[in-house]
Amino acid sequence: MARRAMALLLPQWCSRVFSVELNGAPLYFSIQEKHQGEEVPPVFRKVQKYDRCYSLLVCSSDRVTRAKFYAELKEKLLRDLPKECDLSPMNSFLPNVKDSLIKGYFLKDKTEGPSQSERLLRDLIQHDTVLVCSYLRSEDGQLWTQRLWSHADNKTMEMSKEYFVVPSEAPEYHPATLNIINSDVFYSFEEAYEVLKKSADIIPEATSVLEQLPGRAEARSKPDFPVIVIEGLDATGKTTLTESLRDSLGAALLRSPPQCLSPSRACFDREPPLIRRAFYALGNYITAEEIGREGMKTPVIVDRFWHSTAAYAIATAVSGAVCNLPAEGSEVYCWPTDLLQPSLVVLLTLDPEERKRRLRGRGQGETEEEQELDHNQLFRLKVEEAYRRISGPACVTVDASPPADQVLQQVLLLIRGKCHL
């Protein structure tokens, strides 16, 4: 068993709630020492008589190690488990308690005969970072119990105390929201820097990124001229508009992430969310330094900035319906206090079908998140709603469906009204 992890978790084990993601929505259950006639939790109701169920939770005090191992564990399970096994994302958490979230996987083994998956799990519990549980059904199928695995030595395995598995109501806050701050969205230079610094031992490209970072003062210095950020999904006309604004206003045009990070993007796009988000967060601080420098001489137009980084991360982290997002006014939508604030943020919106038509016309490759936008309407709605809820400054929405020259004139009116240009 992951001894060190369990020493911390066991005292609160019965207070924890567990969630399994099925079809994009979490199903909740909890455990207790005595059964009081509760129904079988929804996640177990469709388990066939001879199916075997397990959970694996990734526990480590070092979040970079935890994030890397979580991603590697998924690859290993998908590669080594029999094809008859179903694997689903899983969480364990203390309801409404920040930073209590532990991520893992729920495994349903539908193979007949000796369990290959159980042999694999026996090997995994040799790691101090993995906590394994098995779930057992009573003969009549009306009761399910959970048992934690441990090992006495490298050859034998023991089961800890048995707990009854019972349904649990959905918590007040979606469990992912307990873990967003400085994991999915970063709110300070220092937090993102620490993640990339710890990653440098295992990701060589991290060192070159760290060498390009500005000082904290440079990332929040206020320029003399206005800073206008243009946000929006791909194919909403950001490139056309930003270039037209540059020419119309005699402004400098910058992009986030900055050009200097382009050689590293492919590498960090393959990393777990914690490391990937830290990389893009630091990109905003590099862009902020560039804004401060250019903004002393001329107005600055920025193609995407912190709003994009936060909106996509929040929408990705929180599964299920739009109502699962952190409530409007939540601290997750607040602008980082150490990052330069723009004078105006314009969010271009477009009918989804028109946006798809424009994307097809461009014939360009899309990022993984942009592909998700195209085939998952719910994800797109969550991104758009997250954009709408971000404050400090909030986005001003502009319909991007008219011809480009009309959109330009509308945005110029906004800039003249709010920035006095």
Q: Under a CB-based contact definition with an 8 Å cutoff, are residues 68 and 268 in contact?
A: no
pLDDT mean across residues, the chain: 88
Closest CA to 261 of 276, 246, 274: 276
pTM of the predicted protein model: 0.89
Amino acid at 88: S
Fold of the 223-261+285-419 domain = Rossmann fold (3.40.50)
CB atoms within 10 A of CB 292: 21
Structure tokens that stand for 135 in this block: 């779930």
Q: Under a CB-based contact definition with an 8 Å cutoff, are residues 87 and 78 in contact?
A: yes
Sheet of 252-255, strands arranged across: 252-255, 300-303, 227-232, 344-349, 396-399
Per residue in 97-133, pLDDT tens? 988 999 999 999 988 766 788 888 888 887 778 889 9
Instruction: Write down the pLDDT at residue 312.
Output: 94
Report residue 201: phi and psi, to 5°.
Answer: -70, -25
Place 180 in a pLDDT band, splitting at 50, 70 and 90.
Answer: very high
Residue indicated by tokens 């057992």: 136
Angle at 168 between CA 166 and CA 172, to 5 degrees: 165
Instruction: Write down the pLDDT at residue 365.
Output: 47
Concatenating the DSSP letter of every residue in 33-60 gives: SS--SPPPPHHHHT--TT-EEEEEEE--
Place 234 in a pLDDT band, splitting at 50, 70 and 90.
Answer: confident
Per residue in 141-153, pLDDT tens? 789 999 988 765 5
DSSP 2: -
CB atoms within 10 A of CB 5: 19
Least confident of 61-75, 120-134, 170-184, 340-354: 120-134
Per residue in 352-399, pLDDT tens? 777 777 777 665 545 566 566 655 788 889 999 999 999 989 999 999
The neighbouring-strand residues paired with 240 are none
Is residue 350 over pLDDT 90?
Answer: no
Question: b or e along 122-161 (b: 16 or more beta carbons within 10 Å of the residue's beta carbon)?
Answer: bebbeeebbbbbbbebeeeeebbbbbbbbeeeeeeeeeee
Instruction: Write down the pLDDT at residue 368.
Output: 62
Q: Are strands 25-32 and 52-58 parallel, antiparallel or unpaired?
A: unpaired
Per residue in 390-418, pLDDT tens? 998 999 999 999 999 999 999 999 999 99
Domain ranges of the chain: 3-176, 223-261+285-419
Structure tokens that stand for 3 in this block: 């001894």
Burial, 320: exposed, middle or buried (Cβ in 10 Å; 0-12, 13-18, 19+)? middle
DSSP 175: G
